[in-house]
Chain A
Amino acid sequence: MARTHDIPKSAGIGIDFGTTNSVVATSDKSRPKPRTKALLDKSSPHPSVVWYKVGGEPEVGRKAKDNILGSADATGHFFISSVKRELGKERSYSIFGAKRHATEVAAEIFSHLKADAKKNHNLEVEEAVVTIPIEFDGRARRDLRKAANLAGIHIKTFVHEPFAAIVGYCCSERSPKQLADREGETCLVFDWGGGTLDITVTRIEGRTISELATAGIPNRSGDHFDETLANFAKTEFIERNQIAVEQFVLQPGTKDRLRRECELGKIKLSEEDELMIGLMDFYRSNGKPFNLEEFINREKFEELIQADVNDAMAKVDHVLERAGLRSTDIDLALLIGGTSRIPRIQKEMSDRFGTRMVRVENADSIIAEGAAIVDALNLHPVLARPICIELSDGKPYEIFKAGSLAKPESCTKKVALFCTDNRDGQARLIVKEGFGPNNANFVTKCVVPVAVCDSIPKPYNHERVTANFLLDEDLVLKISAVGAINPQVAEAEIHDLCFALKLFEE
């Protein structure tokens, strides 16, 4: 593989395929602190926006996002953002009469990331570790893999975003302790990006990062704050210039310029106390141009977003409650995602977690960098909980232990069973997953009905059932079962098993 001069040949590649923004990062193999590099678009992540135009190649990234408001309603233009949310839902878009599946749209974003890495960083992205949210199920993972394959990228494995963030931080210069030294620690990952807020409480035990509880807000993040700031600027402008609201119509493209200006303004307000949102030729009335020159200070901006911040903090309290913890039980509270740079949010988190709260400089790219480290070092997803089947005496029989490497070659098993009661012509294979302290309890994940012979053969012969279990590369547990007499094969899949991330010794 061709690499840039500063990326060693042994580098790992990670991709954070985000709802709003996506990033590719690389890592070398130096232990304990690998060098990472995020491949950004002029110091910003690549917006996950695809712009289809009649008779032209689709545009992806910044160019698409900067035109979304002005051209969205124009004929011959079709914009798709947040396609990640549609993966695994059999969603298709009708684009200029042609049907395009969500995976094809997502593939455009992967292709853009691949092309950018090649063009601007001389890096050939052929395979990578790709991050996913905790709640991303097997169907969504399959779609994501299909999308990456369409772009010529092989997904080596999936890693959950909060786990990647912890790896990205713990393996950096900024962390006083390495992952292996954080044994028994509880970490809260507060990931407030452009599209969603995700809060996850994790525990590091046995060199394994596992999830204790998770919560979030899907539609109130960075983009929402840009909109809030844009509305404020518009309202102030209308009032100051005494324009009737019904007459206030902006020129095509102005909305995009305003949103972009507000996005930059929001970022600047994290550093500066006051700024001006300014746009030349913002509005025209009877041919007379008006410029936008609205001042906003940080205090006012924080007042505008206070309700959203309060909701976010309520979610932090909620996730702690779900994990059965208090804020004092958290050893590390990691603030990631661009929106978490807002000082008001940092203050609220600091009030709860004090010096245990850490805000990282690479908040936009830490997940991708963590994924690259996962690829470069010996970190692998493992089953967080044991998988078992229920036997006729009610006892569980373990199929895969908790901590089993989540790979097809490690999680494959064949089990010989007999049906204890075939009078209704059906054997019931009940698959369960452990939960609770020490995985002492089990929750049913699926019941697989297997057709068996319903007559009583003479001399009596129990109907044998052979069950096969396989965890595929998309972390979906495939189950197939067949009776010895009835050849009808019963099949089922479990898409929502729990996974952890384990650091293996070299």
Chain B
Amino acid sequence: MKSNVAVRSNLMLDDEEHKPHYRYIPGDFVGEIYHEFPNLRDIGTAERELTEQQLIERRQYLVCSRCFRKCAGTCER
């Protein structure tokens, strides 16, 4: 059976135009290795630096202050 899951590329050009690199990393992965990027340690900076898509993805990775799990907001429903 043919899969209907589209394979997506995970490669980006390694040149000056595509820096900083963290802007091209999936948001949940940014969340996982958050502390590796000194300028993202400040939440405000991170909110400005990351793309909207990355922020959505990152929220899904964060531990919820209500249920202490990576619930992506589902515990409030």
Contacts and interface: CB of A to CB of B under 8 A. Distances in A.
Given A417-B14, A456-B33, A390 B21 contact: no
Interface stretch (B3-11, B42-50, B68-76): B3-11
A392 B8 contact: yes
Interface string A413-441: 00111111111000111100000000000
Nearest to B36: A460
A295 interface: no
Given A392-B24, A421-B26, A447-B7, A415 B13 contact: yes
A148 B36 CA distance: 59
B70 to A, nearest CB: 15
B24 A393 contact: yes
A393 B15 CA distance: 15
Interface string B1-44: 00000011111111100000100111001001100110000000
Contact of B21 (A428, A462, A465): A462
A459 interface: yes
A153 interface: no
Given A421-B26, A423-B29, A391 B13 contact: yes
Interface in A378-425: 389-394, 397, 415-423
Interface residues of A, number: 29
B25 to A, nearest CB: 5
B13 A465 contact: no
A459 B24 CA distance: 18
A428 B11 contact: yes
Nearest to A459: B36
Contacts of A464: 14
Given A393-B24, A417-B14, A420-B24, A428 B36 contact: no
Contact of A390 (B9, B24, B26, B37): B9
Contacts of A391: 9, 11-13
A460 B37 contact: yes
B8 A394 contact: yes
B22 to A, nearest CB: 9
A228 B25 CA distance: 67
Given A391-B13, A393-B12, A418 B7 contact: no
Contacts of A462: 14, 21
A420 B12 contact: yes
A174 interface: no
Contact of B9 (A415, A422, A423, A428): A428
B8 A417 contact: no
Contact of A418 (B12, B26, B36, B37): B12
A458 interface: yes
Nearest to B21: A462
Nearest to B37: A460
Q: Which of A389, A394, A417, A422 counts the most B-chain CB atoms under 10 A from its CB?
A: A417
B14 A418 contact: yes
Contacts of B36: 456, 458-460
Contacts of A392: 8-12, 24
A456 B37 CA distance: 13
Interface string A456-481: 10111010110000000000000000
Given A423-B29, A456-B32, A459-B36, A428 B14 contact: no
A421 B36 CA distance: 15
B14 A427 contact: no
A464 B25 CA distance: 14
Q: Which of B7, B8, B21, B32 counts the most A-chain CB atoms under 10 A from its CB?
A: B8
A445 B29 CA distance: 29
Contacts of B25: 420-421
Contact of A420 (B7, B11, B15, B37): B11
A161 to B, nearest CB: 33
A392 B27 CA distance: 13
A420 B25 CA distance: 5
A428 B13 contact: no
B11 A427 contact: yes
A253 B25 CA distance: 75
16 contacts: A391-B12, A392-B9, A393-B24, A394-B9, A416-B15, A417-B13, A419-B11, A420-B26, A421-B10, A428-B9, A428-B10, A428-B11, A444-B7, A447-B7, A458-B36, A464-B14
Given A390-B8, A391-B11, A393-B12, 12 more contacts: A389-B11, A391-B9, A392-B11, A394-B9, A418-B12, A427-B10, A428-B10, A428-B11, A430-B9, A444-B7, A459-B36, A460-B33
Closest 8 CB pairs of A and B: A460-B36, A390-B9, A416-B14, A417-B11, A418-B14, A421-B10, A430-B9, A420-B24
Interface of B: 7-15, 21, 24-26, 29, 32-33, 36-37
